[in-house]
Every structure is written in C-alpha cells, then in structure tokens.
Amino acid sequence: MRPLQLLKNAGRLSLVILPVLTAGCLTVRLPSVEIQKAGEKKPLTWQEMVETSLQHNPDLLRARAARKSGLWSRNIAAGDYLPSVNGVVNRTRTTVPLSDEASNQLEVNLEANQNIFSGFDTTGKTVKAQKDYAAAQWAYRETSADVRFRLRSAYIELLRFNRLVGVTERIAERRKQNAELIYLRYEAGRENLGSSLRAQAILERALFGLRQTERRIESQSLRLAREMGGDFSLPLPVEGDMEVMVSGAPAAEPDYARLAMKTPQVKRLLKNAEAAKAAMISAQSVIWPRVDGNYQFIQSGERHSELQKEFFLGLRASVPFFNGGKNVQGILKAKADYDAARAAAKNVRDETIARLSEAWVQFVDAVEFVVVSKKFLEASLKRSEIVHAQYSSGLTDFQEFDIAEQDLANSEIDYVQSLRDALIQHANWELVTGLTLEDVPHAA
C-alpha cells in the first residue's frame, strides 16, 4: 500500500476513534433532581431564602462565572506588556543512503521577544479588557437584582396563597351555613327553589376556590424552590405577615435622573461604551509604526561537549504604508461601534428614568389602595352582619342577602390582593432602582 494511502486511512480511522474515546469526557451531566415529599418543616424566613439563593441560584452562578471570565481576560490583556520567551531543543541525525556515514546535530535555542511600541494597541486592548471586566461586574449586579425580584415575587405569591386558604375556608364555611339557612326557609315555604339551588351552586364555587388555592400553593412552592436553587421539596412553609411587610412609599418624589445613573444596567452600558472607546485606540494603532526587540541565544554542534554559542540582539521597526484602506475602515468602524454603544447607554438611561417614575407611582398607588381595600372590607363585613340578621328575620329578600354576601367575599379576597400588589410593586421599585440580593441586610 502506498504511503499516501496509509496516511489517508489513518486519518479516517482517527475521525472514528477520537469521538468514541472522548465521548465520556465531553458529556455534560446535570445534577440529579427529584421532588421530595417531606414532613413538617421549619418555615423559611426571607433572610434564609436570600442566603440560599445567593449560594445556589443557577443564574447567579452563571453571572459569577462570566464575571470571573472577564477577570481572566483582563489579566491576559495585561500580559502583552511583558516579553515572550520560548525555548527550543532540536536534535537531528542525518544518514547517507547506501553508506555508513552519519552526522548528528544538536541545537539549543532560547528566544525572547519584547514589544517596544505597538502604536498604543496594547494600551487600548488592556483598557478595553478592564472596561469589559467592569461591565461584567455590573452585569452580575443586574442579574442579582433580577433574581431578587423573582425570588421576592415568588415568596409574596406563596404568602398570598397561604393567606387565601384561610380566607376561602371562611367563605366556604359561611356559604355552607347560608345554603343550609336558605334550604330551611325553602322547606318552610318562605323561599323559592331557585334561591336554594343558587346557594348550593355558590357553595360549590367556594369549595372549588379552596381546592384551587391549595393546588396553587404546591405549584408556587416549586417556583420559589427554583429561585432558591432547585432543591424541590414539598411542602415549603414560609414565614411572614403580609400586613406587617407592607411599608409606606417614600414621602417625597425621588430624583429619577440621579437614581437612573446608579442602576446596574446603565452602569454596565456605560462601561461597554468606554470599552468601545478604548477599542478606538487599538484601531488607530494600524497607522502607527511598530517596534519590537528580539534576543536569541543559540548553542549548536554535533555533540553536547562541542556546542558553540551565538548571540543575536535585534530591533525591528515596521511602518505601514498601504494595505488596501483596511486601516482607515477599521478606525471608522471602531468609531461607529463607540457611537452605537454610547447611544445605547443614553437610551437605557432615559428609559430607566421613565420606568422609575412609573414604578414609584404604581408603588404609591398600591400602598394607598391597601387602606382603601381595608375600608371596603370593614364596610362589607358590617353590612353583611346587618343584612344577614334582616334576612333571617324576613325583613329583606334573598337578592339583597346574596349581594351582601358576595360583596363580603369579594372584599376579603380583594384585600389580600391589595396586600400582594403593594408588596409586588415595592419589589418592582427595588428592581428598577437596582437593589440586589447582596443589598439585603445580613445577606451572605
């Protein structure tokens, strides 16, 4: 078989064997996961959820890895200021065909190269790497703020469903008592069959609402577990009083422009723009001369004892004259990239100012509406007591009784919803202002 054919066959064989040998090494396996049904557990506090999420949330782990990658990139760029040193050892033996004559050659080579002037290319790349790393740090804070909002929202929703269980239980019990009362009045000939059937239907709807809320507690528990890092276990009890957690909005309207400049997303895009500006320095290096220094130390000979030394010290300067206009086009492209990055930062800053205004208004509205909802609940409760006594005494009809009972049920659910909305809008305000998990007091 010809040597060329042997090489081709060896190449084909390596294409088959290499994937087989490396398949196990290159396979990525995720940690095993299962939903565990545990017994009674100690309720989790908000602080414990934050600490768990900081340690295990995959979005935070990914952002930390990206931040660390930016750190290594910065260090790599700084390495261009230092010389590169390479060593080579080469030993050859030459034989003459059809003869016993042979010669040996040993060569040891040490070479060092140092850039002296690169047209500020090294400076531009180093500054760009530093700005990219700073952007990665702000990107991490941006991710942390988003995770904080998702974690807080999942926690609030679970508190809402837990509270709604008690509310719907009370509603269902009241509906049951009403259905029995209306049925007795129907049996006594003081109420019609339609009213009795409607009372039974309302009872079934209340029982369905209770079952629905219980099911949502389980699904929301899994959502909260996901934000904490994926330790799925049920039940997942949490600690917290929604009424105590509702806090007042800021007394005065905040300075949106000042707050916007401090948000992670605006800071990140500003660093991206600064990195693009540093890239302009590197792009302009192609029109400058380049100067490099070279040092070589060579030892060569037939034997180790016969090595002869040689030294070379050189200085190389290159001046670009014409390369098809690519240097100018590269500078123009870098300038356009900088303009785009700067415009993106301004766009997000202006959008953040508008979002801050909207978030603050929604936060204030939600907090104030809690008071309004509580007033409606108190009024509905008193009206329900009065109408219930009147209906039992025959002083009012079923329609008035039905409306009063429905108003009470709606007011109870609406009050819980108002507490939830106030807490969610507070969390949204913290998201837009850029508060992170690390900003939670005593966060690990």
∠262-267-272 over CA atoms, to 5°? Answer: 170
SS3 category, 167: helix
For the chain, the residue count is 444
Sign of the torsion formed by the C-alpha atoms of 138, 143, 144 and 150: positive
Mean pLDDT of 23-36: 75
The whole-number pLDDT of residue 8 equals 54
Residue 319 confidence (pLDDT) above 70: yes
Query: Who contacts 82 (Cβ-Cβ below 8 Å, separation ≥6)?
Result: none
pLDDT tens, 390-433?
Answer: 998 888 899 999 999 999 999 999 999 999 999 999 999 999 99
**Which run of H or of E encompasses 190?**
none
The whole-number pLDDT of residue 3 equals 46
pLDDT tens, 221-240?
Answer: 999 999 998 778 888 899 99
SS3 category, 131: helix
Residue 112 has φ and ψ, to the nearest 5°, of -125, 135
For the residues of 395-410, what is the DSSP string, one character each? Answer: SS-HHHHHHHHHHHHH
Can you tell me the distance from the alpha carbon of 409 to that of 163, in angstroms, rounded to the nearest whole number? 14
Reading phi first (left if > 0) and then psi (alpha if -120 to 50, else beta), residue 119 is in left
- Based on its alpha-carbon atoms, the radius of gyration of the chain, rounded to whole angstroms, reads 37
Q: How many CB atoms lie within 10 A of CB 390?
A: 15
The whole-number pLDDT of residue 33 equals 76
Residue 26 confidence (pLDDT) above 80: no
Q: Where are the beta strands (DSSP E) in 63-158?
A: 84-95, 102-117
Mean pLDDT of 148-157: 96
Residue 103 confidence (pLDDT) above 90: no
Give the residue with greater pLDDT, 302 vs 56: 56
pLDDT tens, 240-296?
Answer: 999 999 987 767 789 999 999 999 999 999 999 999 999 898 888 888 888 888 888
Q: Where are the beta strands (DSSP E) in 319-360?
A: none
Can you tell me the distance from the alpha carbon of 296 to that of 287, in angstroms, rounded to the nearest whole number? 29
CA distances from 404 to 38, 164, 190, 369 (A): 42, 20, 19, 22
For residues 76 and 118, the answer to whether their CB atoms sit within 8 Å is: no
Can you tell me the distance from the alpha carbon of 186 to that of 267, in angstroms, rounded to the nearest whole number? 70
Q: How many CB atoms lie within 10 A of CB 180?
A: 13
Q: Where are the domains of the chain?
A: 33-83+109-439
For residues 43 and 237, the answer to whether their CB atoms sit within 8 Å is: yes
* Res. 16 pLDDT band, cuts 50 70 90: low
* Res. 11 pLDDT band, cuts 50 70 90: low
Can you tell me the distance from the alpha carbon of 317 to that of 204, in angstroms, rounded to the nearest whole number? 90
Average pLDDT over the chain, rounded to whole? 88
For the residues of 27-52, what is the DSSP string, one character each? Answer: ---PPP---EE----PPBPHHHHHHH
Domain 33-83+109-439 has CATH 3.30.830.10: no
